[in-house]
């Protein structure tokens, strides 16, 4: 009887393992690889600039298919494939615990080949007094940072390119959800310290919008809510209460997840009295084997409700993303606000969703380029009043905004 029970358990375990493995169909994965490569080839509007060999991707990733044994590995497989294009706008609409996060609370810039901390998300970090601006990233989790870049799981992009290396460096800083992010930093004073990014405390708020008034100047801070249509009513109510303010500061430094143009146009519409252009779009169209034809258009904002007449300053930074970037170039293009801050998140293009034939999740690709009305690509826009962060001990961008606002009020 004991032998019989053991045999039954062995058969059950084998059956479960076979059932698990049977979910992974290499032919279906290969079919989806061909599909995503075809979609990228036909629809990804930045493909030419990225200079990525699609044949390399096809050959390399098809060779990896036999190694895939679990559903989680399928997700990572396609995640890494999209990472080949070093474009933070290209993402799956799912992730796993071993996926890379989309962003980090610190940003590194390559200088003379060395990754240097150039920005810290100080508006979202609580009680962060250590000034690490200018520090060189030596290691992450004990691994030399340059080695970590080489180990990053992409194989068809050029890791010697500065753009690629900087993108990968910040992806490594974002880290995987299930792994620590312990940085070894050499500060500008040559002192070496360790910083665990996961011990940093975030300033949390459930409010879509916060509103204050200081010395007659209204301050509206959008809390990563540009994708929430309910923000429109809250923004209207807050602005209505600030209509008699001497000036208005709109803080977009926590819009890291972007949003939609419905909300953005509603916001911009409160600051104009006549229809104005706020951004340009460019793409190509092709049907069948017919030639690709360029298509471009300018998008306008229409005024709505009572418009705010006094000076406006917009605050932006490395965590101003996608539609937050669209708002900034829109206000600037309409000549309705002064833009203060650093480079933004530089998420390029207008996104469209795509589906796999055999997977339950899909992915997003940039299908149209976006421009400031003066022709500057949105992802290359730099604020008129540029602020180079030099410390975490004070809010230099906000201080510059107040200085600028006071000069306009006077």
Torsion of CA 166, 170, 172, 174, to 10 degrees: -170
What is the Cα–Cα distance from 390 to 117, expressed in whole angstroms?
10
What is the Cα–Cα distance from 108 to 197, expressed in whole angstroms?
14
- What is the sign of the dihedral through the CA atoms of 241, 246, 249 and 250? positive
What is the Cα–Cα distance from 262 to 348, expressed in whole angstroms?
19
- What's the pLDDT at 98? 96
pLDDT higher than threshold 90 for residue 12: no
The residue behind tokens 């000069």 is 407
335 three-state secondary structure: coil
Q: What are the tens digits of pLDDT across the range 264-314?
A: 999 999 999 999 999 999 999 888 889 989 999 999 999 999 999 999 999
pTM (2 d.p.): 0.91
Q: What are the tens digits of pLDDT across the range 17-49?
A: 333 445 789 999 999 999 999 999 999 999 999
Q: What are the tens digits of pLDDT across the range 230-248?
A: 999 999 999 999 999 999 9
- What's the pLDDT at 129? 76
Instruction: Using pLDDT thresholds of 50, 70 and 90, give the confidence band for residue 145.
Output: very high
pLDDT higher than threshold 60 for residue 15: no
Q: What are the tens digits of pLDDT across the range 84-140?
A: 999 999 999 999 999 999 999 999 999 999 999 999 999 999 888 789 999 999 999
Q: Are 136 and 185 in contact (CB under 8 A)?
A: yes
What is the Cα–Cα distance from 96 to 170, expressed in whole angstroms?
19
pLDDT higher than threshold 80 for residue 8: no
What is the Cα–Cα distance from 81 to 84, expressed in whole angstroms?
6
Which is nearest to 376 in space by CA: 343, 336, 341? Answer: 343
pLDDT higher than threshold 70 for residue 63: yes
- What's the pLDDT at 13? 43
Residues in the chain: 410
281 three-state secondary structure: strand
CB-CB neighbours of 359 under 10 Å: 19
Paired sense of beta strands 385-386 and 338-341, if any = parallel
Provide the H-helix boundaries in 282-395.
323-333
């Amino acid at each position: 009887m004991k032998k019989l029970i053991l045999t039954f358990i062995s058969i059950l375990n084998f059956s479960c393992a076979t059932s698990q493995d049977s979910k992974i169909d290499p032919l279906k994965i290969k079919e989806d690889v061909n599909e995503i490569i075809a979609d990228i080839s036909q629809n990804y509007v930045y493909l030419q600039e990225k200079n990525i060999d699609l044949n390399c991707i096809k050959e390399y990733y098809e060779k990896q298919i036999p190694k895939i044994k679990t559903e989680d590995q399928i997700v990572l497989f396609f995640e890494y494939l999209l990472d080949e294009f070093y474009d933070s706008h290209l993402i799956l609409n799912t992730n796993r615990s071993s996926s890379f996060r989309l962003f980090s609370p610190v940003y590194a810039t390559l200088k003379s080949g060395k990754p240097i901390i150039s920005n810290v998300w100080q508006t979202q970090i609580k009680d962060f007094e250590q000034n690490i601006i200018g520090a060189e990233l030596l290691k992450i989790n004990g691994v030399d940072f340059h080695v970590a870049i080489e180990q990053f799981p992409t194989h068809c992009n050029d890791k010697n390119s500065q753009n690629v290396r900087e993108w990968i460096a910040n992806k490594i800083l974002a880290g995987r959800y299930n792994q620590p992010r312990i940085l070894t930093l050499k500060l500008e004073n040559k002192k070496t310290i360790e910083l665990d990014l996961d011990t940093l405390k975030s300033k949390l708020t459930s409010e879509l919008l916060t509103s204050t008034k200081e010395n007659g100047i209204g301050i509206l801070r959008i809390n990563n809510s540009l994708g929430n249509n309910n923000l429109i009513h809250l923004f209207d109510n807050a602005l209505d209460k600030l209509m008699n303010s001497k000036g208005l500061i709109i803080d977009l430094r926590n819009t890291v997840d972007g949003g939609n143009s419905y909300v953005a146009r509603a916001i911009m519409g409160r600051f104009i009295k006549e229809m104005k252009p706020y951004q340009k779009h460019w793409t190509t169209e092709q049907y069948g084997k017919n030639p690709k034809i360029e298509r471009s258009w300018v998008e306008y904002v229409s005024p709505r409700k009572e418009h705010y007449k006094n000076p406006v300053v917009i605050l932006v930074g490395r965590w101003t993303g996608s539609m937050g970037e669209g708002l900034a170039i829109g206000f600037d293009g309409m000549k309705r606000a002064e833009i203060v801050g650093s480079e933004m998140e530089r998420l390029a293009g207008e996104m469209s969703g795509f589906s796999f034939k055999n997977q339950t999740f899909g992915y997003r690709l940039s299908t149209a380029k976006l421009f400031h009305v003066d022709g500057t690509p949105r992802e290359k826009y730099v604020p008129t009043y540029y602020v180079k962060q030099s410390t975490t001990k004070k809010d230099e961008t906000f201080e510059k905004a107040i200085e600028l606002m006071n000069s306009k009020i006077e």
